Amino acid sequence: MAEETRSNPALSEAMAKAKTSMQFVGFRLAEQEYAFRIEQIQEIVIPDRVARIPQVPDYVEGVTNLRGTIIPIINLRRLFDMEYRECDEATRTIVANVGGRTIGCTVDAVSQVIRISPEQIQPAPEIVRSEGAKYIAGFAKLDARLIILLEIDELLDPSKMDQVKQIASRGGTISIENENTVPRINTIDLNCN
């Protein structure tokens, strides 16, 4: 293999790139693409029965039994103050490990596992300002696609979810003042409407 790599520069370059790139699980909410780092994703499942719990925030769908473990299910559409949508055949629950807890997140669809190199990731530009910016790890530009990389530890921290919901219900207000910073984006908000 080492000899094959030396004799094939393209293979050598591809292997080097694979070592430096990061993997993300891509998903959709409404028409926007988002992604979580794959290291914290336990699995992706088709939504199962959820036991509703009274007197919890609307973004908490309830709890479910995942092979003997009771986990909370968070609806990311509701957390981002987006219009509610019934589950369909594309709806998935991303099961994530966050701060020693296992939490399920309902999303419209899981698109793919994405390998993103550091060169493709840009932090939120300095002119982007908002309380919601701390929930965004960066932006990935892949061809014509713009993927919002979410900071899963911040976003799904149970002590911060009410704040995420409040920011989203106020419109998110993560705005870009200079339209040349990120092409075709005038406003980026948590509810992406």
Its pTM stands at 0.76
* 174 confidence band (pLDDT: 50, 70, 90): very low
Give tens-digit pLDDT for 5-40: 455 555 445 445 556 889 999 999 998 999 999 999
| Domain total in the chain | 1
Q: Within a domain: residue 9?
A: no
| Contact assessment for residue 47 and residue 57, using Cβ atoms and an 8 Å cutoff | no
CB atoms closer than 10 angstroms to residue 62:
15
Q: Within a domain: residue 127?
A: yes
Q: What is the CATH number of the domain that holds 128?
A: 2.40.50.180
| Contact assessment for residue 70 and residue 47, using Cβ atoms and an 8 Å cutoff | no
Q: Within a domain: residue 1?
A: no
Q: Within a domain: residue 74?
A: yes
User: What range does the domain containing 103 cover?
Assistant: 23-188
Give tens-digit pLDDT for 39-56: 999 999 999 899 999 999
Q: Within a domain: residue 193?
A: no
How does 83-114 read in b/e, with b if 16+ C-beta sit within 10 Å? eeeeeeeebbbbbbebeeeebbbbbbebbeeb
* 183 confidence band (pLDDT: 50, 70, 90): very low
Q: How far is CA 173 from CA 33, 126, 189, in A?
A: 18, 14, 6
Chain mean position to CA 176:
20
